[in-house]
Amino acid sequence: MTPSAETGKGQRRKRTFLRLLGYLGEKKGTLAAVIILFLAGSVSFILLSVFLGISVNALTGTIDMSALSRLVLLMAAFAGLSFVCFFLGFRLLARVTQSALFRLRQELFEHMQTLSLRFYDRQPIGELMSRVTNDIDVVTAFFQQPLGTLLMGIFMLATTLIAMFSLHATLAAIASIAIPLLIGLVYLLARVAGPAFVLLQERLADLNGLLEETIAGERTIIAYRQQETVATKEDGVSEGARDVGSRAQIFSLIIYPLTILITNIDIALVALVGSIMIIRGDLSVGVLTTFLSLTLLFVLPLITIFANYNFLLRAGVSAGRIFSILDEKPDIIDKPGAAEMKPVVGHVVFQNVNFSYVPGRQILKNNSFEALPGQMIGLCGPTGAGKSTIINILTRYYDIDSGSIEIDGQSIYDVTQASLRRQIGVVLQEPFLFSDTVMNNLRYGREDATDEECIAAAKETRCHDFISRLPEGYATVLSDGGSNLSQGQRQLLTIARAMVANPRILILDEATSNVDTRTEKDIQAAIRKLQEGRTSFVIAHRLSTIRSSQQILVINNGEIVERGTHDQMMKSKGFYYELYMSQFKGRIAEILPGGVKQT
C-alpha cells in the first residue's frame, strides 16, 4: 500500500472515531462534570506522591511527629477525594455513554427505515444483521468499559507530566522517553491489526449470514439430508473468522507485555539517573522518591492507554461500518413541494414506461395501459417477465427511467410517497405477520382503526371464526411471523389487514398460490369482498384466478404482448391461449391416469 493510501486510511479512521465520540456531546453538561471530576481525581492522586516525598524528606532529618501525622491525614484525605471523584466520574460517564448508544441505535434503525428497496437488494441480510448487532455490540463494549479507563488514563498522564516537569525537568525528560517508543510500537502494530479487525468484522458478517440462512432453511436441509454439507460449510466460514480473529488479537497479546517491558526500563532509567544525582548531591532522597512515585503513576496510564488500544481500533472499524449505513442516501425521495395525494377513485394510467433495476439492463420496455376505477386488472406471463416490477413502480418502490404513471390524473412523482402508499393495499404471496397481537396486526395499515372496524373486516374476510378459537382471541400474540397459524389463516389475516387499511387500489401478488383448494376458496371469497369498489391488480400464475378480470395484461420480456379479456384472448389463440392451455392440460394430466394426447 502506498504511503498516501495509508495516510488516507488513517485520516478516515480519525474522522470516524471523532464522529463516534461526537455522540457523547449530547449531554454536554454531564460530560463537562465528568471531565472536572476526572481532573480533580487525577490531581488528588498526584498530590499523594508529592506528600510521600515530603514525608520521606521529613524522615531524613529531625522527625516532627505532629507534622508527619498531618501529612498522613492529608494523604488519606486526598486518597478518599480521588476515589470519590473517580467513582462519581464513572457514574456520570455511564449516563453519557448510554445516552450516546441509545442515540446511535435509534439513528441507525430510523435511518434504515428511510432507505429505498434498492439498498436492501444489494445488501445480504446477514451483513446488515451483523452491522446492527455485532458492530453495535463492539461500540457498546468500548463505551461501557475501555472509554472510561482511557479517559482516566489520559487525565492521569497529563497531570503527572505537568507535576514531573515542575519537579525536575531532566528526570521528566528521561521518563518521557517511553512515550515516543510506545507510540512507534502502536503505529507499527496498528498497521497490521487495523486491516485485520476490518476483515474480522466482514468474516463475522459472513458467518452470521450463513447461520441465518441455515436456520431459516432447516426444513429443506433436513429434507435433502444436507446437514453434514452445511456443517462443513459452516466450519470453513468459522475457521476463516477464527484465523482472521487470531491475527487481529495478536495485537492485544503483544502490546501489553511490550508496554510493561518499555515502562519498566523507563522506571529503571529514572532510578539510575536519580541515584547518580543523589550521590553527587544534586538531588534529595525525598525528591527522587516523589519522582519514582510519579513515574509509576506516569507508567500506569501508559499501560492502560496502550493496552486498550485494540478496543479503540475495533470500535473505530465497527463505527465505520455503522456510519456507512447512516451515510447512505435513499434512492427514492419526494420532490420539493410534493403534495399530499387526496383520496382517489383508482384511475391508473401507464404511458410509455421504461424501467431498469441496473442501468443498461432494461426490464420494462415502453409499457402503456389504463385501469379504470373499480376494474380488476390481471397480470400474467412467464417468471421474470416483469409482472412484479410493474407493481414495484406503481407503489414507487423504484423510480422509472422514462414515461409517466398517473392516478386520477395526478403523477405519482408529484405527491409524497406516504400519501401515495396510503391509497394502495398490498397482499403478497408470502404473508408476513408481526410478533404482536392479532388486533395490532389487523390495524397495522391504519393505526387509528377501532377494534370494531378490525373485527368487522375479520368477519368479512372469514377470519373471525378461527381468531375467536385462539387462546386469547384478538389479544393472542402471534409468534415468529405467525407460525402459530396455518398458511391459509395467515393469508386471510393479511387480506383482513388490507381491508382495515381501506385503500382505493389493491395489489394481489399470487395471494392463493401456497394453499390447498378448500382454503383457496375461502381466500378467493375474501379477496372478492376486498375488491368491491376498488381498482385491483392481480398477479397470477394460476390463470384461473384472473379469468374474471375486466382486462388481462400478458407480459413477456418486459413488454405487454397481449391485452384483453379472457374470452377475447382465448379466441385469438395467441400467447395467453398457449399459457392457459398448458396449465389446463397439466391439470387434466394430474386427474386422468393416462394423461391427455396432444392434438
Q: What is the pLDDT of residues 10-21, one digit of tens each?
A: 677 778 888 888
Helix, strand, coil proportions of the chain in percent (round to 5)? 65, 10, 25
In this model, does residue 302 exceed pLDDT 60? yes
Higher pLDDT, 194 or 6: 194
Q: How far apart are CA 307 and CA 581, in angstroms?
A: 74
* Statement: 16-326 belongs to CATH 1.20.1560.10: yes
In this model, does residue 116 exceed pLDDT 70? yes
- Domain 16-326 shares a fold with domain 433-502: no
pLDDT given at position 68: 65
In this model, does residue 8 exceed pLDDT 70? no
Mean pLDDT (the chain) is 81
Q: How far apart are CA 180 and CA 184, in angstroms?
A: 6
CATH superfamily for 433-502 is P-loop containing nucleotide triphosphate hydrolases (3.40.50.300)
Share of the chain above pLDDT 90, in %: 22
* Mean pLDDT lowest among 195-199, 380-384, 490-494: 195-199
Higher pLDDT, 483 or 23: 23
150 pLDDT tier (thresholds 50, 70, 90): confident
Q: Note the pLDDT tens digit of each residue in 366-420.
A: 999 999 999 999 999 888 888 889 999 999 999 999 999 999 999 999 999 989 9
In this model, does residue 597 exceed pLDDT 90? no
pLDDT given at position 591: 40
Sequence ranges of the domains in the chain: 16-326, 348-423+506-591, 433-502
What angle, 0 to 180 degrees and rounded to 10, lies between the N-to-C axes of helices 285-307 and 28-60?
150
In this model, does residue 592 exceed pLDDT 50? no
248 pLDDT tier (thresholds 50, 70, 90): low
Question: Which residues touch 387 (CB under 8 Å, ≥6 apart)?
Answer: 379, 380, 381, 539, 555
Longest Cα–Cα distance in the chain: 126
Start-to-end CA distance of the chain, whole Å, equals 70
CATH class of segment(s) 348-423+506-591: alpha beta
Average the pLDDT over 441-457 and give the result.
90
> Measuring CA to CA, which residue among 507, 509, 462, 456 is closest to residue 489?
462
Q: Are strands 410-411 and 402-407 parallel, antiparallel or unpaired?
A: antiparallel
Q: How far apart are CA 157 and CA 46, in angstroms?
A: 10
In this model, does residue 178 exceed pLDDT 70? yes
What does the block give as the cell for 203?
468474516
Average the pLDDT over 355-369 and give the result.
90
Q: How far apart are CA 429 and CA 587, in angstroms?
A: 21
* Mean pLDDT lowest among 220-229, 261-270, 557-566, 580-589: 580-589
In this model, does residue 187 exceed pLDDT 60? yes
In this model, does residue 61 exceed pLDDT 70? no
Average the pLDDT over 563-573 and give the result.
92
